[in-house]
Amino acid sequence: MADTRRPLSPHLQIYKWQVQMVTSILHRATGIALAVGTLLVVWALLSIASGEAAFDQFKVCMGSPLGIVLLVGWSWALFYHLCNGIRHLLQDTGMGFAIPQFVRSSWLSVIVSLVLVIVVWACVLTTGGAA
Protein backbone atom coordinates (compact mmCIF):
# COMPACT_ATOMS: atom_id res chain seq x y z
CA MET A 1 0.00 0.00 0.00
CA ALA A 2 1.20 3.47 -0.87
CA ASP A 3 2.45 5.68 1.88
CA THR A 4 -0.27 8.34 2.14
CA ARG A 5 1.51 10.33 4.82
CA ARG A 6 3.64 12.05 2.23
CA PRO A 7 2.46 15.57 1.38
CA LEU A 8 0.07 15.52 -1.55
CA SER A 9 -0.38 18.40 -3.95
CA PRO A 10 -3.94 19.66 -3.53
CA HIS A 11 -5.95 19.86 -6.71
CA LEU A 12 -7.76 22.99 -7.85
CA GLN A 13 -11.05 22.51 -6.05
CA ILE A 14 -9.46 22.34 -2.60
CA TYR A 15 -6.67 24.79 -3.30
CA LYS A 16 -6.72 28.10 -1.46
CA TRP A 17 -7.43 30.66 -4.16
CA GLN A 18 -4.77 33.32 -4.60
CA VAL A 19 -4.59 36.16 -7.08
CA GLN A 20 -1.37 34.78 -8.61
CA MET A 21 -3.09 31.60 -9.76
CA VAL A 22 -6.16 33.50 -10.91
CA THR A 23 -4.05 35.73 -13.16
CA SER A 24 -2.29 32.69 -14.59
CA ILE A 25 -5.53 30.83 -15.30
CA LEU A 26 -7.15 33.95 -16.74
CA HIS A 27 -4.19 34.54 -19.04
CA ARG A 28 -4.79 31.15 -20.66
CA ALA A 29 -8.56 31.48 -20.70
CA THR A 30 -8.48 34.95 -22.26
CA GLY A 31 -5.85 33.74 -24.73
CA ILE A 32 -8.17 30.97 -25.90
CA ALA A 33 -11.11 33.40 -26.05
CA LEU A 34 -9.05 35.85 -28.11
CA ALA A 35 -7.98 33.08 -30.49
CA VAL A 36 -11.70 32.58 -31.21
CA GLY A 37 -12.12 36.36 -31.35
CA THR A 38 -9.66 36.57 -34.26
CA LEU A 39 -12.54 35.30 -36.39
CA LEU A 40 -14.49 38.46 -35.49
CA VAL A 41 -11.70 40.65 -36.88
CA VAL A 42 -11.64 38.62 -40.08
CA TRP A 43 -15.45 38.74 -40.32
CA ALA A 44 -15.39 42.55 -40.00
CA LEU A 45 -12.72 42.89 -42.71
CA LEU A 46 -14.50 40.44 -45.05
CA SER A 47 -17.81 42.27 -44.58
CA ILE A 48 -16.21 45.61 -45.49
CA ALA A 49 -14.54 44.02 -48.50
CA SER A 50 -17.73 42.38 -49.79
CA GLY A 51 -20.03 45.41 -49.70
CA GLU A 52 -22.50 47.55 -47.84
CA ALA A 53 -25.14 44.84 -47.29
CA ALA A 54 -22.62 42.49 -45.64
CA PHE A 55 -21.25 45.33 -43.49
CA ASP A 56 -24.74 46.30 -42.33
CA GLN A 57 -25.44 42.69 -41.44
CA PHE A 58 -22.21 42.62 -39.42
CA LYS A 59 -23.22 45.81 -37.59
CA VAL A 60 -26.69 44.41 -36.82
CA CYS A 61 -25.17 41.20 -35.40
CA MET A 62 -22.68 43.16 -33.25
CA GLY A 63 -25.39 45.56 -32.08
CA SER A 64 -27.69 42.75 -30.93
CA PRO A 65 -27.75 41.91 -27.20
CA LEU A 66 -25.71 38.75 -27.76
CA GLY A 67 -23.28 40.70 -29.94
CA ILE A 68 -22.76 43.32 -27.26
CA VAL A 69 -22.21 40.71 -24.55
CA LEU A 70 -19.59 39.05 -26.77
CA LEU A 71 -17.94 42.39 -27.57
CA VAL A 72 -17.74 43.38 -23.90
CA GLY A 73 -16.29 39.96 -23.09
CA TRP A 74 -13.77 40.10 -25.89
CA SER A 75 -12.71 43.66 -25.11
CA TRP A 76 -12.07 42.72 -21.50
CA ALA A 77 -10.21 39.55 -22.60
CA LEU A 78 -8.08 41.69 -24.92
CA PHE A 79 -7.22 44.24 -22.24
CA TYR A 80 -6.57 41.61 -19.60
CA HIS A 81 -4.32 39.54 -21.90
CA LEU A 82 -2.58 42.79 -22.93
CA CYS A 83 -1.94 43.98 -19.34
CA ASN A 84 -0.96 40.57 -18.04
CA GLY A 85 1.08 39.93 -21.19
CA ILE A 86 3.13 43.08 -20.54
CA ARG A 87 3.54 41.86 -16.95
CA HIS A 88 4.84 38.51 -18.21
CA LEU A 89 7.20 40.22 -20.68
CA LEU A 90 8.68 42.23 -17.80
CA GLN A 91 8.91 39.08 -15.67
CA ASP A 92 10.78 37.40 -18.54
CA THR A 93 13.56 39.93 -17.92
CA GLY A 94 13.76 38.69 -14.32
CA MET A 95 11.81 41.53 -12.74
CA GLY A 96 9.14 41.29 -10.05
CA PHE A 97 9.52 37.76 -8.71
CA ALA A 98 9.55 38.65 -5.00
CA ILE A 99 6.21 37.45 -3.61
CA PRO A 100 4.85 40.89 -2.59
CA GLN A 101 5.75 42.34 -6.01
CA PHE A 102 4.25 39.33 -7.76
CA VAL A 103 0.97 39.71 -5.87
CA ARG A 104 0.90 43.47 -6.47
CA SER A 105 1.52 43.12 -10.22
CA SER A 106 -1.19 40.43 -10.39
CA TRP A 107 -3.72 42.83 -8.93
CA LEU A 108 -2.43 45.57 -11.20
CA SER A 109 -3.17 43.50 -14.34
CA VAL A 110 -6.69 42.73 -13.16
CA ILE A 111 -7.51 46.28 -12.06
CA VAL A 112 -5.96 48.10 -15.05
CA SER A 113 -7.76 45.75 -17.47
CA LEU A 114 -11.09 46.49 -15.77
CA VAL A 115 -10.40 50.24 -15.85
CA LEU A 116 -9.53 50.08 -19.56
CA VAL A 117 -12.66 48.11 -20.45
CA ILE A 118 -14.80 50.61 -18.52
CA VAL A 119 -13.10 53.55 -20.26
CA VAL A 120 -13.63 52.01 -23.70
CA TRP A 121 -17.31 51.25 -23.09
CA ALA A 122 -17.82 54.70 -21.56
CA CYS A 123 -16.45 56.06 -24.87
CA VAL A 124 -18.90 53.87 -26.77
CA LEU A 125 -21.88 54.93 -24.65
CA THR A 126 -21.07 58.65 -24.61
CA THR A 127 -20.75 58.73 -28.39
CA GLY A 128 -24.30 57.49 -28.69
CA GLY A 129 -25.04 53.86 -27.94
CA ALA A 130 -23.44 50.69 -29.21
CA ALA A 131 -23.29 50.27 -32.94
Alpha helix ranges (H) inside the chain = 19-50, 52-63, 65-92, 99-126
Give residues 101-130 in contact with other proteins (rule: CB under 8 A).
Answer: 120, 123-124, 127-128
Q: Does 12 bind other proteins (CB under 8 A)?
A: no
- To the nearest 10 degrees (0 to 180), the angle between helices 65-92 and 99-126 is 150
Distance (Å, whole) CA 69 – CA 130: 11
Q: Does 82 bind other proteins (CB under 8 A)?
A: yes
Q: Does 3 bind other proteins (CB under 8 A)?
A: no
Distance (Å, whole) CA 42 – CA 33: 15
- For residue 43, is it left (φ>0), alpha (ψ between -120 and 50) or beta? alpha
Taking CB under 8 A as the binding criterion, the range among 2-10, 42-50, 95-103, 105-113 that sits at the site for other proteins is: 42-50
Q: Does 62 bind other proteins (CB under 8 A)?
A: no
Q: Does 89 bind other proteins (CB under 8 A)?
A: yes
Q: Does 1 bind other proteins (CB under 8 A)?
A: no
Are 55 and 47 spatial neighbours (Cβ–Cβ below 8 Å)?
yes
Contact residues toward other proteins (CB under 8 A) are 28, 31-32, 34-35, 38-39, 41-42, 45-46, 48-49, 52, 55-56, 75, 78, 82, 85-86, 88-89, 92, 120, 123-124, 127-128, 131
